[in-house]
Amino acid sequence: MTPTEFLEFSVNAGFVMVVVAVALGFLRLAIGPSLPDRVVALDLMTIAIVSFCALAAVQASDPAFLDVALALALVGFLATVALARFAERQRLRRENKETPTDEEGAP
Question: What pLDDT, in 10s, does the model give residues 5-56?
Answer: 999 999 999 999 999 999 999 999 999 888 888 888 989 999 999 999 999 9
Question: For residue 101, is it within any domain?
Answer: no
Q: How many CA atoms lie within 13 A of 39 on its CB side?
A: 15
Q: Which pTM value belongs to this model?
A: 0.77
Question: What pLDDT, in 10s, does the model give residues 54-81?
Answer: 999 999 988 888 999 999 999 999 988 8
CATH code of residue 22: 1.10.287.3510
Question: For residue 103, is it within any domain?
Answer: no
Contacts of 92 (CB under 8 A, 6+ apart): none
Alpha-carbon distance of 46 to 80, in angstroms, equals: 10
